[in-house]
A and B are shown apart, each in its own frame.
Chain A
Amino acid sequence: DQQVKQNSPSLSVQEGRISILNCDYTNSMFDYFLWYKKYPAEGPTFLISISSIKDKNEDGRFTVFLNKSAKHLSLHIVPSQPGDSAVYFCAASRIATYKYIFGTGTRLKVLA
């Protein structure tokens, strides 16, 4: 049973446009969410997080939105750059468990 789902395995976007990556979860007890970015031959690196007390968190070009009623979060990248081409994983956890459940990843390709 996949508790965290990323239903789009891949996404292509033109440079300068917005990239929107989506993530759905099933466990209403999750209260902390992160996005990781992974380049080939490297480990995932932390990108941005959001706790369930917020519905938006912004860091430069990256914004994460959380819709708790829909159990849905999304990552917006504006403007998209070729260097953003990577696999993006969303992850969810319950505070104090320190264990994250990961989605299957979305491969983003930003076209120059």
Chain B
Amino acid sequence: DADVTQTPRNRITKTGKRIMLECSQTKGHDRMYWYRQDPGLGLRLIYYSFDVKDINKGEISDGYSVSRQAQAKFSLSLESAIPNQTALYFCATSVGGAGVNYGYTFGSGTRLTVV
């Protein structure tokens, strides 16, 4: 089983619909992130969470919300999907500690198409 699992892998939805992307991890990491990838724009941070009671906006949080249901689960919601939210979405985790900075473990991504 993958360390970071994203569901669904692919989704097509209609404009105006609410959709939730889910992420679960078995790494035991306390930090979780949602990024989106667009051609020519790289990966941009949507939201991040350092523990269950901590939620922070990233650089492109408008139109999105998140929920950290447990240490291992972090879901991303699009309340009313619009076509420019069509992208590849990645969940990532990392371990933290004072003075420590490690990279991320990424999930395999969710390809979302809004029509």
Contacts and interface: CB of A to CB of B under 8 A. Distances in A.
Bind each other = yes
Interface of A: 4, 6, 9, 32, 34, 36, 41-46, 49, 89, 91, 93, 95-96, 98-105
B42 A49 contact: no
A102 B99 contact: no
A41 B104 contact: no
B96 to A, nearest CB: 5
Interface stretch (B13-21, B63-71, B72-80, B106-114): B106-114
Contacts of B99: 95-96
Contacts of B31: 98
Query: Shortest 7 CB-CB distances between A and B: which pairs?
Result: A43-B106, A104-B42, A102-B43, A102-B42, A46-B103, A95-B101, A34-B103
B108 A98 contact: no
Given A43-B4, A95-B101, A103 B108 contact: no
Given A42-B109, A93-B101, A95-B101, 18 more contacts: A9-B40, A34-B103, A43-B106, A43-B107, A43-B109, A44-B43, A46-B103, A46-B104, A91-B103, A95-B99, A98-B50, A99-B48, A102-B35, A102-B44, A103-B42, A104-B41, A104-B42, A105-B42
A98 B4 contact: no
Given A98-B31, A99-B48, A36 B42 contact: no
A99 B46 CA distance: 11
10 contacts: A4-B42, A36-B103, A41-B109, A43-B92, A44-B106, A49-B103, A98-B50, A99-B33, A99-B45, A102-B35
Contacts of B43: 44, 89, 102
Contacts, number: 59
B7 interface: no
Nearest to B90: A43
Contacts of B90: 43-44
Given A98-B31, A103-B42, A32 B101 contact: yes
B42 A98 contact: no
B6 to A, nearest CB: 8
